[in-house]
Amino acid sequence: MDISIERRENAPDASGDAVVELAVKGRIDAETGVELEHAVAEELRHGHHAIRLDCTNVSFLSSAGIRVLFNVHRAAKTAGAWCLIGAASEPVARVLELTRLAPMLREPQLQASPGTGSRGHSPSVDAAAAGNGPTDVCVGRIFFVGLERPGSGGLAGEVVGAFDAALLGSAAGRLVETPSRPVPRHAFGLGLAGLADDSLASIAGEMLAACGAVFHRAPQPFAAIDYSLGEGSLVPTVRLASGLIWEGLPRGRAGFEPADDEPAVRFDELAAALLERSQTDCLALVVVAEVHGIVGVELIRPLAEATATDNPRSRDPAVTSRWLSFSREPVHARHTALIVGVVTRGNPAGTLAQFVRPLGAGGPSGHAHAAIFPLRPLKRGTVDLAATVADLAASEPLAVMHLLGDPQPVLGSGQSELVRGCCWFAPLSVAGSSSSVGDDA
């Protein structure tokens, strides 16, 4: 017999808080359990943090089914939520008692909900904003949970390599070779780089570095993602053709999710909101989030092959398409992204000028890379960045992409959108740069 799952919204629990109830009918075993795991994962992905399972009509629970119930319980707990059995058929109750899992997996008579279980928010939660501690606040279409401002202390960054020269290199060997740079646990970076000692013109590809982990995509079609993780005294190193590196953990942080009934948070709107709350012109930004859709591009040819007329910056779309692989539509939904970037008001002068581009129409400029991983449930609100990156790095990275906005009507891919997650941010100063600039072009 197949499994069926009926969703019941806002079923009240003993404390009166809103709960999502999933009524399960049929068998829970190795074959059907996948559907239950998927249903619970969808609720967590959409920010619901109180989930009750009604197993009254479950006719059979196998050992594999017990593992499924344990997995959804653990996934919810990891996300700062709960998923428990509120009602059980005789076969389910008997198996849980015999395996002594009833105290863990069944809902107590009085179950306190760790969250509201609702995605509806009101700007009135910003009433605590007058204090210095974490606050909950709506900014436009984004709801920030436990927002902590970065304070007056900023971070110092450095742009490495000549951005235009790196992309417009004329022939193999002409790209300036830079020495390897260590990326310790307190450093972050993004750009075109390599992990090996070969010529940069041959190996420079999309790179992202965070908390002692470096993720790199080779410049070729369908490239597997390489990575280097800091362990013990081992510190990863990178060789940058062009990029940005800063040292120091951003002190500002917040959980975020869509306000009201919005399905997701746009990356450009998230960047603009954080710039507004930080009251700065240039912001270092790190994000870990569940993905609704990523819009980006990947370098698929080595810069050694570039010439004055055949290069990634060509204005001829036919030429550009031989160098860059663009997402034709938002990709990597239901995955987890680690994003490292810099965002500015307008177009800065100085060394940042060639490094950032407008993120969206009328919004901030920026440059951001995303490393994509299998879906990992995230706790609502703020989490520890280093521990979160370490948890992601324990799984296999699937992609490293340069984020971009594609605002073309009808045919455009739009913006990268995130279901929910956590962000870390701080004012960033880059030597030789000024953010009091000109027009968005």
User: What CATH number does residue 77 fall under?
Assistant: 3.30.750.24
Residue range(s) defining the domain that contains residue 15? 4-105
> Does the residue 240 lie in any domain?
yes
Cα angle for residues 423, 255, 400 (degrees, 5° grid): 40
Are 84 and 161 members of one domain?
no
CA dist., res. 219 & res. 300, Å (int):
4
pLDDT of 208 over the 90 cut:
yes
pLDDT for 433 equals 55
Are 26 and 170 members of one domain?
no
Strand partners, 191: 207, 243
**Greater model confidence, 220 or 179:** 220
Are 41 and 175 members of one domain?
no
> Does the residue 148 lie in any domain?
no
Are 395 and 262 members of one domain?
yes
**Greater model confidence, 347 or 357:** 357
> Does the residue 113 lie in any domain?
no
Are 231 and 372 members of one domain?
yes
- The token duo for 137 is 């606040």
Per-residue pLDDT, averaged over 177-194, amounts to: 89
Strand partners, 129: none
Per-residue pLDDT, averaged over 35-61, amounts to: 89
Are 87 and 179 members of one domain?
no
Contact of 368 with 296, CB cutoff 8 Å: no
> Does the residue 149 lie in any domain?
no
pLDDT for 292 equals 95
- The token duo for 381 is 């609100």
Are 47 and 159 members of one domain?
no
> Does the residue 36 lie in any domain?
yes
Number of domains, the chain: 2
CA 351 to centroid of chain Cα atoms: 27
The pLDDT-based confidence of 381 (bands split at 50, 70, 90) is confident
Ramachandran sector of residue 237 (left: φ over 0; alpha: ψ -120 to 50; beta: rest): beta
Cα angle for residues 414, 415, 416 (degrees, 5° grid): 135
- Identity of the residue numbered 202: S
Domain final residue pick, 105, 139, 164: 105
CA dist., res. 341 & res. 371, Å (int):
12
- Separation in Å, CA 8 to CA 20, 21, 314, 378: 6, 5, 54, 23
Contact of 36 with 5, CB cutoff 8 Å: yes
> 253-277 burial string, b = 16+ CB within 10 Å, else e?
bbbbbbbeebebbbbbbbbbbbbeb
pLDDT of 397 over the 90 cut:
yes
pLDDT of 306 over the 80 cut:
yes
- The token duo for 211 is 């908390």
CA dist., res. 159 & res. 432, Å (int):
9
Contact of 345 with 275, CB cutoff 8 Å: yes
Are 95 and 167 members of one domain?
no
Express as a percent the part of the chain with pLDDT over 90.
47
pLDDT digits (tens, 9 = 90+) for 234-283: 889 998 888 999 999 999 999 999 987 788 999 999 999 999 888 889 99
pLDDT of 390 over the 70 cut:
yes
Cα radius of gyration (the chain): 24
pLDDT of 434 over the 70 cut:
no
Place of tokens 């008001």: 345
pLDDT of 117 over the 60 cut:
no
Indicate the average pLDDT of the chain. 83
pLDDT for 31 equals 82
pLDDT of 170 over the 80 cut:
no
- The token duo for 80 is 């700062």
Count CB-CB contacts under 10 A for residue 220: 13
> Does the residue 342 lie in any domain?
yes
CA dist., res. 10 & res. 16, Å (int):
10
Residues making up the chain, counted from first to last: 441
pLDDT for 115 equals 40
CA dist., res. 297 & res. 325, Å (int):
5
pLDDT digits (tens, 9 = 90+) for 148-168: 988 767 899 998 875 444 444
Give the single-character DSSP code of 36: H
Are 324 and 419 members of one domain?
yes
Least confident of 45-49, 64-68, 87-91, 406-410: 406-410
Least confident of 113-122, 350-359, 416-425: 113-122
Are 323 and 232 members of one domain?
yes
pLDDT of 139 over the 80 cut:
yes
**Greater model confidence, 56 or 349:** 56
The pLDDT-based confidence of 409 (bands split at 50, 70, 90) is low
The pLDDT-based confidence of 119 (bands split at 50, 70, 90) is very low
Per-residue pLDDT, averaged over 343-364, amounts to: 83
- Separation in Å, CA 435 to CA 248, 428, 431: 21, 10, 11
Q: Is the pTM of the predicted complex or chain greater than 0.75?
A: no
CATH of the domain at 197: 3.30.1330.80
Q: Which long-range contacts (CB under 8 A, 24 or more apart) does 28-32 make?
A: 28/3, 28/55, 28/58, 28/60, 28/61, 28/62, 28/65, 28/68, 28/69, 28/92, 29/60, 29/61, 29/62, 29/64, 29/65, 30/62, 30/64, 30/65, 32/2, 32/3, 32/65
Are 193 and 310 members of one domain?
yes
pLDDT for 164 equals 47
> Does the residue 373 lie in any domain?
yes
The packing angle between helices 33-45 and 63-78, to 10°, is 10
pLDDT of 8 over the 90 cut:
no
Are 166 and 43 members of one domain?
no
The pLDDT-based confidence of 370 (bands split at 50, 70, 90) is very high
CA dist., res. 205 & res. 221, Å (int):
11
Domain final residue pick, 105, 138, 169: 105
Domain final residue pick, 78, 105, 132: 105
> Does the residue 205 lie in any domain?
yes
- Torsion 13-18-22-23 (CA) sign: positive
The pLDDT-based confidence of 336 (bands split at 50, 70, 90) is very high
pLDDT digits (tens, 9 = 90+) for 73-101: 988 888 878 999 999 999 899 888 888 88
